[in-house]
């Protein structure tokens, strides 16, 4: 049985052969974040304001209110757990 390595002997960073996998995950995460941001910010908000409200201005007001109310717990430090 080998003794455990000290913290000075352990090399930080990815293991051998993992760099390509980490790069692929990084690119996927970057692209997915941008896609989600665009859909939620522009596409869904437009759909909501035109489909669920009596007029476009009221829909925009409702959407802004909903986003504002969801942001309050984040400002208070409760985060997305609610």
CA–CA gap between residue 47 and residue 50 (Å, rounded):
5
Mean pLDDT confidence for 21-50: 88
The torsion angles phi and psi of 16, rounded to 5 degrees, stand at -60, 130
* Residue 52 · residue 59 · CB < 8 Å: yes
Over the stretch 48-81, which tens digit does the pLDDT of each residue have?
Answer: 888 888 998 999 899 999 888 888 888 888 665 5
Q: Which helix (H) or strand (E) holds 31?
A: helix 19-38
Pull the structure tokens for residue 69: 């109310």
pLDDT band of 4, cuts 50, 70, 90: low
Tell me the three state secondary structure of residue 62: helix
Pull the structure tokens for residue 29: 């995460």
Pull the structure tokens for residue 31: 């692209």
Assessment of whether the complete model's pTM goes beyond 0.75: no
Mean pLDDT confidence for 40-45: 86
Over the stretch 23-33, which tens digit does the pLDDT of each residue have?
Answer: 899 999 998 88
């Amino acid at each position: 049985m080998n003794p455990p390595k000290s913290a000075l002997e352990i090399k930080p960073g990815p293991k051998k052969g993992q760099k390509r996998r980490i790069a692929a995950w990084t690119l996927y995460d970057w692209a997915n974040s941008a896609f989600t941001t665009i859909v939620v910010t522009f596409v869904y908000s437009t759909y909501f304001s035109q489909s669920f409200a009596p007029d476009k201005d009221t829909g925009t007001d409702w959407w802004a209110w909903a986003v504002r109310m969801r942001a309050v717990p984040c400002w208070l430090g409760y985060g997305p757990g609610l």
